[in-house]
Chains A and B, each alone.
Chain A
Amino acid sequence: DAKTTQPPSMDCAEGRAANLPCNHSTISGNEYVYWYRQIHSQGPQYIIHGLKNNETNEMASLIITEDRKSSTLILPHATLRDTAVYYCIVDRDGNTGKLIFGQGTTLQVKP
């Protein structure tokens, strides 16, 4: 199973872009990259996922390197409400949806 490595914490100024990196150097060809976030004492919230092309939705953009060994989640204009733990996950089993959540990156958005 592919593993992911994320920095334990990051800061971002309110209104600026937040760029959250993730390394997944052992990812295999059919594994997707997922991002979720968890605000304190709540359930995780799905953000975005992708295979090899860059993806964008109303919440964020996902940039995956050409060799697929790393990716970056971009929150274009961070707000205080984006303060959360962000999890980068490689899909271990797409059929069952069994995802491995590591410790993630705690993003602190500061005024």
Chain B
Amino acid sequence: DTGVSQNPRHKITKRGQNVTFRCDPISEHNRLYWYRQTLGQGPEFLTYFQNEAQLEKSRLLSDRFSAERPKGSFSTLEIQRTEQGDSAMYLCASVRGGLDTGELFFGEGSRLTVL
């Protein structure tokens, strides 16, 4: 087991384009989180899944952001009509078990640069 895997590691795109990031959690981890981190800030919660169900989505997240986890395994985060303000590191994390622990295992992140 190699831990949480995220792809691509780096993405450069032009403003207005759509981008998609993929996260493969640790196997048998049924909870999966997405965070966004900008320079000098802590990770900001975006959304999380329990199996395939999306349980919460940050109110800070605009409608241009959507996440899916169709079979309860890997997840994708799509950003439509990217803006320069979307430039950030997007982190994925997974957790084994139920809703009673904050022991997250993080991936290395996907860095987005919007030109």
Q: Do A and B come from one complex?
A: no
* Chain B residues within CB distance 8 Å of chain A: none
* Chain A residues within CB distance 8 Å of chain B: none
